[in-house]
């Protein structure tokens, strides 16, 4: 099962690069949905064998992750895109080529950090920690390099995905209620962001967050 876990983590890493490489908002949302579906399988692949885990607990986490990350949140973001009537990320703060290069640098830093970091428990697979760090750093890159508010939602979701991956190291200690609570917080956060985007698009002709800094009292 370790090989399957490594494959899922590699898919997450590829989706990170794809998100920063495309300017299509709909493609970003689809990639994040695929990333969410991939992460929904990760706990099952890691812990369904070799650990005396309650299958109900494991199935609940996988189903909740799939429902929220791969279905509900993408549906809310697609609705926000339709309401805002925007399809592309126009003139990002950092070019797409530079974004891919920075994402690659972030991945290299993540592998270095995974080697020097002293962990309280051994990771179930060697790719788990570096991919978790790379996903968090790439999410921050999306937040600072994109101007559309909808893309910021994707960046926020990627950061949470990285935390989710790293949290698999603590799956034995963290109760399932806490894990579901984290997913609920994520859902509420995305829901609030969707409402804010809709209100911004109704009041202004665009949702470019770069121009919000020019507002005066």
CA torsion, points 100, 106, 111, 117, in degrees to nearest 10? -170
What residues of the chain score a pLDDT lower than 50? 177, 203, 217
What's the confidence (pLDDT) of residue 150? 77
What's the confidence (pLDDT) of residue 53? 54
- How far apart, in Å, are the Cα atoms of 9 and each of 36, 106, 117, 166? 12, 16, 19, 11
pLDDT digits (tens, 9 = 90+) for 195-208: 555 555 554 555 55
What's the confidence (pLDDT) of residue 15? 94
Handedness of CA 146, 200, 215, 205 (dihedral sign): positive
What's the confidence (pLDDT) of residue 186? 63
What's the confidence (pLDDT) of residue 171? 64
- How far apart, in Å, are the Cα atoms of 139 and each of 143, 175, 180, 183, 217? 6, 26, 21, 17, 31
| pTM of the predicted structure, to 2 decimals | 0.80
What's the confidence (pLDDT) of residue 210? 55
DSSP alpha helices (H): ranges in the chain?
Answer: 2-21, 25-47, 55-65, 73-84, 96-116, 128-145, 149-167, 176-203
Nearest to 133 by CA among 101, 154, 170, 164: 164
Return phi, psi of residue 208, to 5°: -80, 110
């Amino acid at each position: 099962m370790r090989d399957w876990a490594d494959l899922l983590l590699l898919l997450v890493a590829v989706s990170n690069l794809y998100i920063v490489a495309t300017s299509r908002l709909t493609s970003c949302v689809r990639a994040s949905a695929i990333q969410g579906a991939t992460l929904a399988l990760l706990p099952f692949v890691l812990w369904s064998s070799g650990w005396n885990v309650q299958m109900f607990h494991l199935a609940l986490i996988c189903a909740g992750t799939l429902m929220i990350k791969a279905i509900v949140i993408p549906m809310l973001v697609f609705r926000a895109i339709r309401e805002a009537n925007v399809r592309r990320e126009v003139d990002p703060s950092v070019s797409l080529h530079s974004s891919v290069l920075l994402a690659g640098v972030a991945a290299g830093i993540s592998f270095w950090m995974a080697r020097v970091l002293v962990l309280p428990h051994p990771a179930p697979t060697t790719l788990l920690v570096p991919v978790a760090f790379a996903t968090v750093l790439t999410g921050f890159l999306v937040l600072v390099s994109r101007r559309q508010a909808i893309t910021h939602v994707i960046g926020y979701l990627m950061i949470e995905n990285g935390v989710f991956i790293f949290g698999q190291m603590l799956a034995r200690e963290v109760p399932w209620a806490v894990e579901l609570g984290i997913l609920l917080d994520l859902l509420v956060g995305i829901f609030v962001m969707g409402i804010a985007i809709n209100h911004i698009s109704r009041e202004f002709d665009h949702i470019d967050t770069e121009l919000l800094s020019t507002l005066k009292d």
